[in-house]
Structure 1
Amino acid sequence: MLPSPAAPRTHRLVPSPAGRTHLVEQGSGPLVLLVHGFPESWYAWRHQLSALAAAGYRAVAMDVRGHGRSSRPDAVDAYRILELVEDGAAVVRALGERTAVIVGHDWGATVAATSALVRPDVFRAVGLLSVPYTPPGGPRPSEVFARMGGAEEFYVSYFQRPGRAEAEIEPDVRRWLAGFYAALSADTMPAPGAPDPHFVSRGGRLCDRFPAGRLPSWLSERDLDVYAAEFERTGLAGALARYRNMDRDWEDLTEYDGAPITQPSLFVGGALDASTTWLADAIKAFPSTLPGLAASHILDGCGHWIQQERPAEVNRSLIDWLGSLAD
C-alpha cells in the first residue's frame, strides 16, 4: 500500500483588523493557529505545519501584522497586543471556524496567552513556547526594563525609540539576523561569562555582541535567505513596534491584573534560553496562573528558537497535548 501523499501547503490572504493577514495552511481537522515571534514570520513554523497536518489537524501559521505579507499599519499604537488578538480571532472567523487552539513562540507566546485570556470564546486552549505566562499587572514595563543592566542597556529598552534599532539592522538585514539567531541558539550562543547579547554598552550596538562566522545548526543559508528577504522588503519598524507598545499593553490589560488562564495549556521551554531562566518564578507559579496546564517541558541543551532547534521533540509535545483535548 502506498503512503498517503502529504497535504498541500496553501498561502492565503484573509481580511482582518490589520487590513489583510497572510497565512499558510496545511491539513484538515481541528484548527491550530500558530503565532510567531521576533524577528520571524510564518516560516518559523515550517516544521510544525507538516507534522500537525499529518496528525489530523488544520495547521495555520500566520504572519503577524507588520511582518511578511500581512498588512503593516503606519501608526506605532496599531501594534498593541489587543489589536493582534483581534487579528487572530478574525483569522479564525475567515477560515469558517468558531474556535481554535492557539500556539505561540516568543512574542507570539505572549499574543497567544493574551488571546486565551481576553477571547476565551474563540481560543479554547493555548500552547506557549519559550516565554512562560505572566499575568498582567505589576510595575510599568518601561520602568522595569530601565532598571535592568546597570551601566548597560537592556535590549527591550534599546528597541523603544523608533528608528534607532532600524538604523542598526536595516543596512545589512541578513547579517544582523544571522547574528541575532546565533546569539540565542544553543550551539552558537556566547560562552558563559562572555558579554551578554541581551544588553548594549552605552553608545554601542546590540550586534556588537553577536557571534560571527557560523550559523546555528537549525538555520540553513536558504532559511536565512527566506527571513532576510521578507525583512529587506518590509523593513523592521512593524516588527519592532511590538516592543514599543508594552506600556500601552500594560494599561489596556488592567482589568485582567493577576488573572489566570483557565483553558487547557502547555508550556515548552529551552533550558539555555534566557526567557526560561529569567522567568523561572513564572514557571513555578503555573499551578495558580495556568490551572489548566497539562504539561510543562524544559528541553535540555536547547536555546530560544525552540521549535526550529528541536522540531521533533516540540512536535511530539504538541501532538500529544492536542490529542488530549476534547474536539
Structure 2
Amino acid sequence: MSPLALDVTHRLVPSPAGRIHLVEQGAGPLVLLVHGFPESWYSWRHQLPALAAAGYRAVAIDVRGYGRSSAPHETDAYRMAELVADNAAVVEALGERSAVVIGHDWGASIAAASALVRPDLFRAVGLLSIPYAPRGGPKPSELFARMGGEEEFYVSYFQEPGRAEAEIEPDVRGWLAGFYAALSGDTMPAAGAPAPHFVRRDGTLRERFPTDRSPAWLGEGELDFYAGEFERTGLRAALSRYRNMDRDWEDLAGFDGAPIAQPSLYIGGALDASTTWLAAAIEAHSTTLPGLTSSRVLEGCGHWIQQERPAETNQLLTDWLATL
C-alpha cells in the first residue's frame, strides 16, 4: 500500500525532542500507535484505516529519531523517559485527555513504559511481539553479554556507536530487506540454521540474512518507503534506543517489579524469537498485567505481526478496543 494511497493527515506536533511527526486518520477515542526497529509510522498502514472505520482516532507516530521526527544528536536523548514524554506530548498536543497506546517491538516497550509511568494519561495498553517484563534483575548490558557463548547477541553488537552503522549504511535497502526476511514467518532461516540474532565475533548480522527470498508482506513499494526513510536519516538515532538500556534500568528504579494495572492486550507470533525467549514473561502476564483481557499467539507468524497478519491483527485490536 503506497503512503499516498492512505487517506491520512500528516502533522508535526511539539514535544521535548523538538517535534514529532504523526499520521492521523479517523475520529473518536484516541489510539496511539508506536512502531519498533527498524520501522516507521508506515508499519501501521493496515491498522490506520481499520481503526478509523471502527470509530477511533488512529494516530501513528515516527518515534523520536525516525522518519520526519526530530533527531537529537546526544545518545541519551533516546532514553525511555524521553520517549514516554514524547508520547504524552503527542496526546496533549492533540487536545486529548487520555489515549490507548499500542506498540510493536521497541514500540511495545515504549507503550508499556508509557502506561506504567503515566497511568493518568494512558488508559489501556496493547503490546505486539514484546511482552511486558517489569524492571528488575541485573543491568541489561550484563544480561545480554552472557548470551551467545562464542558469538555476540545482536543487542550487544548494537552498543558501540558506529559499529552497526558501518554494516548497514553502505547498503540500507539491502540490509533492511535481509533483516525483514530473517524475522518473517515465511522467509526466516530454517530451524537449525545459524540464528540471525547473533553475530560472529569478527562477522556481521547480514551474513546470516536470507538473500534469495522476500516475505509476502514486503513488496517493492514497501521496501522503497522504508529504505528511503533510513537512507535520509541514517541509523544512528534508531540504534541509540538500544544504547540506552542501562540508563532506562537506572531511570525506572522506582518501578522495580511494578505491574501495569490498566486493561491490556498481547499479540505474539509463534515463530518470533521474542515469543520463545520471553515465554516466561508471557506466562507471568497474569501477575504483571493484571488487567490483561486479550492474549493471542498467531501460528505461523514471525516478528512483523501487524504487517504479516494485518486482518487478524485488526480484528484482535478492534475487538479488544470495543471492550474498553
> What is residue 82 of structure 2 aligned with on the other side?
83
SS of 2:103 mapped into structure 1 = strand
Structure 1 segments of 4 or more deviating over 2 A? none
> Does the 8 Å contact 1:7/1:27 carry over to 2?
no
Q: Which amino acid aligns with 1:128?
A: L
Cα offsets for 1:74-126 (capped at 9, x unmatched): 00000000100000000000101010000000000000000000000110000
TM-score, normalised to structure 2, is 0.98
Structure-1 separation of matches of 2:137 and 2:168 = 32
Q: What is the deviation of 1:9?
A: 0.6
Q: Which amino acid aligns with 2:176?
A: L
Structure-1 separation of matches of 2:270 and 2:53 = 28
SS of 2:101 mapped into structure 1 = strand
Structure-2 separation of matches of 1:280 and 1:82 = 26
Cα offsets for 1:98-157 (capped at 9, x unmatched): 100000000000000000000001100000000000001111100000000000000000
TM-score, normalised to structure 1, is 0.97
Does residue 215 of structure 1 match 2:203? no
Q: Which amino acid aligns with 1:318?
A: L
> What is residue 3 of structure 1 aligned with on the other side?
none
> What is residue 245 of structure 1 aligned with on the other side?
244
Cα offsets for 1:210-267 (capped at 9, x unmatched): 0002210000100000000000000000000000000000000000000000000000
SS of 1:14 mapped into structure 2 = strand
Structure-1 separation of matches of 2:27 and 2:133 = 32
> Does the 8 Å contact 1:104/1:110 carry over to 2?
yes
> What is residue 181 of structure 1 aligned with on the other side?
180
Runs of 5+ in structure 2 lacking a partner? none
Q: What is the deviation of 1:8?
A: 3.2
> What is residue 99 of structure 1 aligned with on the other side?
98
> What is residue 129 of structure 1 aligned with on the other side?
128
Structure-1 separation of matches of 2:223 and 2:23 = 19
Structure-2 separation of matches of 1:234 and 1:284 = 38
Q: Which amino acid aligns with 2:131?
A: P
> Does the 8 Å contact 1:8/1:27 carry over to 2?
no
> Does the 8 Å contact 1:7/1:54 carry over to 2?
no
Q: What is the deviation of 1:295?
A: 1.1
Structure-2 separation of matches of 1:24 and 1:7 = 10
| 1:277-296 equivalences in 2 (<5 Å) | 277-296=276-295
SS of 1:23 mapped into structure 2 = strand
> Does the 8 Å contact 1:14/1:94 carry over to 2?
yes
Q: Which amino acid aligns with 2:218?
A: L
Structure-2 separation of matches of 1:140 and 1:172 = 33
Q: Which amino acid aligns with 2:249?
A: W
Structure-2 separation of matches of 1:280 and 1:208 = 28
Runs of 5+ in structure 1 lacking a partner? 1-5
How many residue pairs align between the two structures? 320
Greater mean deviation of Cα atoms: 235-244 or 209-218: 209-218
> What is residue 169 of structure 2 aligned with on the other side?
170
SS of 1:110 mapped into structure 2 = helix
> Does the 8 Å contact 1:26/1:59 carry over to 2?
yes
SS of 1:59 mapped into structure 2 = strand
Structure-2 separation of matches of 1:280 and 1:172 = 34
Q: What is the deviation of 1:7?
A: 8.9
| 1:260-279 equivalences in 2 (<5 Å) | 260-279=259-278
Structure-2 separation of matches of 1:138 and 1:323 = 36
Structure-2 separation of matches of 1:297 and 1:221 = 30
Alignment identity in percent? 77
Cα offsets for 1:34-55 (capped at 9, x unmatched): 0000000000000000000000
> Does the 8 Å contact 1:116/1:261 carry over to 2?
yes
> Does the 8 Å contact 1:160/1:243 carry over to 2?
yes
Greater mean deviation of Cα atoms: 6-15 or 225-234: 6-15
Does residue 192 of structure 1 match 2:191? yes
Structure-2 separation of matches of 1:301 and 1:316 = 17
